[in-house]
Homo-oligomer: A and B are copies of this chain.
Amino acid sequence: MSDCEKKVPEVVIKRLPRYYRYLGELLNQNITRISSNALSEKMNVTASQIRQDFNYFGGFGQQGYGYNVEHLFNEMGEILGLHDHDTMIIVGAGNLGRALANHNAFEKRGFKLVGMFDNDKKTIGSTVNGVKVMPVDELETFIKENRVDIGILTVPKSAVQETAERLAKCGIKGLLNFSYTELELPDEVTVENVHFSDSLMILSYNIRHRGEE
A residues neighboring B (CB under 8 Å):
4, 7-8, 13-14, 16-18, 20-22, 79-82, 84, 86, 94-96, 98-100, 102-103, 105-106, 109, 111, 149-150, 173-176, 180, 182, 187-188, 190, 192, 194-213
Contacts and interface: CB of A to CB of B under 8 A. Distances in A.
A213 B7 contact: yes
A194 B194 contact: yes
As for how many copies of this chain the complex holds, the number is: 2
A4 B202 contact: no
Contacts of A195: 17
A111 B205 CA distance: 13
B180 A207 contact: no
Contact of A105 (B8, B95, B196, B203): B196
Nearest to A172: B207
